[in-house]
Amino acid sequence: MIGLYTAAEIRAAEEPLLAAGPEGALMQRAATGLATVCLRMLGSAYGRRITLLVGAGNNGGDALVAGAHLAARGARVTAVLLDPGRAHPAGLRALRRAGGRVLDPTAEDNGLDRADLVLDGIVGIGGSGGLRPRAAALAEQAARGPGLLVAVDVPSGVDADTGAVHGTAFEAGTTVTFGAVKPGLVVGEGKGFANEVRLVDIGLDLPPARTHQLTDADVALRLPFPLPGDDKYSQGVVGVAAGSSVYPGAAVLCTGAALRTRPGLVRYAGTAADGVRAAWPEAIVTDGRPADAGRVQAWVVGPGMGTDDAAERVLTEVLASDLPVLVDADALTLAARRPGLVRDRSAPTVLTPHDREFARFGNEVGSDRLGAARGLAADLGAVLLLKGEATVVADPSGTAYVNGTGTPWLATAGTGDVLSGIVGSLLATGMDAAEAAAVGAHVHGRTGQLAAARGPLVAGDLLRRLPDAIRRIQQAAGFVPIGLGDSAP
């Protein structure tokens, strides 16, 4: 599991090392790791043209010292100093000793138009707000040029904690970050400016993280294979209250996703019974209310259900149970009208809004997606799964997850119904609600990536590729089904 740490947490962890070690030792570790990544990207240093965009302070110092390492290996390094009077003195001396060239930002020939690689050391993790005009102009020029674009620790113009971008930011192809991954590199607009993130270990002693990103290995551990003693009941029984005569497809997709995720038992109750029965003979289908469906261990309620009085009665009935419940789509609209239905629950509840559905609860998401999800989770006493390019999951205690899988092709009708079925099936196994939401988002994103490999996808493609995606996650973590070994298909 990857821990995500704020700028304040990083600084607190750096303080003991800065106090105990010789001056500049921590910067040398960071800069050496940065230079190593750049060398691997370039293949070799000799004769390569490298331009450093250098701001004041330690971030600029990291770029200068890394530039000195590259210059010592034969690279032609040019440093453009945004604020010459405040450039890091030791870094500047190191670069000059190695033969690097130093320019001020007004120089006409700054090398950006022919650089093989550009290092962004303008602003570090303490930056906030947009770039100043001169820095913005250099970032834009670098983006137009031919060079590989590498950000030092965090792309300049990106808020390290939230991923917020106000105005121009440096659009890196690779971000080399130090000590720990910052939330702003994987969430919000910042994700699109950081792109590939490479972590350099500089020896920080970090506390337990409050924000996490799951790996395939983490997810595989939470998706165990059935044991010889398991039966259809022991693997989790999920109830689905979804769909309507107007939107039967939502019920079909949600039920199918629940079936495909865990080979246990799915009970459907609702007015789309005929469609579900025809599509999924494996499900136990009831043309009636949730109470008529039989015993379940978790409920999914809302997709395609409508928002009329009958739908509100179904939601009220499900939320009155002492079972875990996932609330999605139309049920979110109803819950926003009566938030007490969620606040008054003692059993786990997962809400899965996109930004517009989130706003129905009273506030816009804004630029701080993690903060927004945490705030509404605490207010409602529920787990929030805030959908987006990087889906955020937060529980009422403040623990959060940022999903690292997915594809823009998932922005199509019905894919949210599939996500609800996946998460609902995991809730029925007894998995912690926040973990079920985070694992479900990871699996959903991997499935989307697999389906999108063949071009544009529709929600039904996810159902077909879901078992393959789960198996690939398990294989990536070294898991194979008991008794099959390498002979598994």
Query: Are 105 and 124 in a shared domain?
Result: yes
245: annotated binding-site residue?
A: no
Query: Are 65 and 144 in a shared domain?
Result: yes
243: annotated binding-site residue?
A: no
Q: Is 10 helix (H, G, I), strand (E, B) or coil?
A: helix
Give a yes or no: residue 488 inside a domain.
no
99: annotated binding-site residue?
A: no
120: annotated binding-site residue?
A: yes
130: annotated binding-site residue?
A: yes
Query: Are 307 and 401 in a shared domain?
Result: yes
Evaluate the CA torsion angle 272, 275, 279, 283 in order and state its sign: positive
Query: Are 340 and 285 in a shared domain?
Result: yes
* Final residue before a domain boundary, out of 209, 237, 272: 209
> What tokens appear for 391 in the block?
């889906």
Query: Are 57 and 34 in a shared domain?
Result: yes
pLDDT surpasses 60 at 485: no
Q: Enter the pTM of the model.
A: 0.94
Give the distance between the most distant pair of CA atoms in the chain: 80
366: annotated binding-site residue?
A: no
60: annotated binding-site residue?
A: yes
61: annotated binding-site residue?
A: yes
Query: Are 78 and 122 in a shared domain?
Result: yes
250: annotated binding-site residue?
A: yes
288: annotated binding-site residue?
A: no
Query: Are 316 and 387 in a shared domain?
Result: yes
Residues 6+ apart with CB under 8 A from 465: 447, 450, 451
Query: Are 404 and 301 in a shared domain?
Result: yes
363: annotated binding-site residue?
A: no
Count: domains in the chain: 2
406: annotated binding-site residue?
A: no
pLDDT surpasses 60 at 487: no
Give a yes or no: residue 437 inside a domain.
yes
Instruction: Yes or no: say if 6 and 183 are a contact pair by the CB < 8 Å rule.
Output: yes
Average pLDDT, the chain: 95
275: annotated binding-site residue?
A: no
191: annotated binding-site residue?
A: no
Residue 249: left if φ>0, alpha if ψ -120 to 50, beta else—which one? alpha
Query: Are 264 and 380 in a shared domain?
Result: yes
Q: Would you state the pLDDT for residue 84? A: 93
pLDDT surpasses 70 at 486: no
* Final residue before a domain boundary, out of 141, 174, 209: 209
Strand duo 392-394 + 383-386: pairing? antiparallel
58: annotated binding-site residue?
A: yes
Q: Would you state the pLDDT for residue 476? A: 81
In the β-sheet with 117-121, what is the strand arrangement from edge to edge? 101-103, 76-81, 49-54, 117-121, 148-152, 174-178, 196-200
Give a yes or no: residue 487 inside a domain.
no
Give a yes or no: residue 482 inside a domain.
no
Q: Looking at residue 12, which CATH number applies to its domain? A: 3.40.50.10260
Query: Are 12 and 101 in a shared domain?
Result: yes
Q: Would you state the pLDDT for residue 231? A: 81
Give a yes or no: residue 481 inside a domain.
no
* Final residue before a domain boundary, out of 209, 231, 258: 209
Strand (E) or helix (H) holding 146: none
* 260-306 pLDDT, tens digit each: 998 689 999 999 999 999 999 999 999 999 999 999 999 999 999 99
Query: Are 204 and 227 in a shared domain?
Result: no
Give a yes or no: residue 49 inside a domain.
yes
Stretch 307-324: mean pLDDT? 98
Q: Looking at residue 331, which CATH number applies to its domain? A: 3.40.1190.20
145: annotated binding-site residue?
A: no
124: annotated binding-site residue?
A: yes
Query: Are 122 and 162 in a shared domain?
Result: yes
Residue closest to 213 by CA, chosen among 183, 173, 177, 190: 183
Specify the amino acid at residue 170. F
Residue-range definition of the domain harbouring residue 353 = 216-476
* 128-164 pLDDT, tens digit each: 778 999 999 999 999 999 999 999 999 999 999 999 9
* 334-361 pLDDT, tens digit each: 999 999 999 999 999 999 999 999 999 9
Q: Would you state the pLDDT for residue 126? A: 84
* 377-404 pLDDT, tens digit each: 999 999 999 999 899 999 999 999 999 9
The percentage of the chain sitting over the pLDDT mark of 70, rounded to a whole number, equals 98
328: annotated binding-site residue?
A: no
Burial profile 100-131: b = 16 or more Cβ within 10 angstroms, e = fewer:
bbbbebeeeebbbeebbbbbbbbbbbebeeeb
Give a yes or no: residue 415 inside a domain.
yes
Q: Report how far Cα 454 is from the mean position of its chain's Cα atoms.
A: 23
483: annotated binding-site residue?
A: no
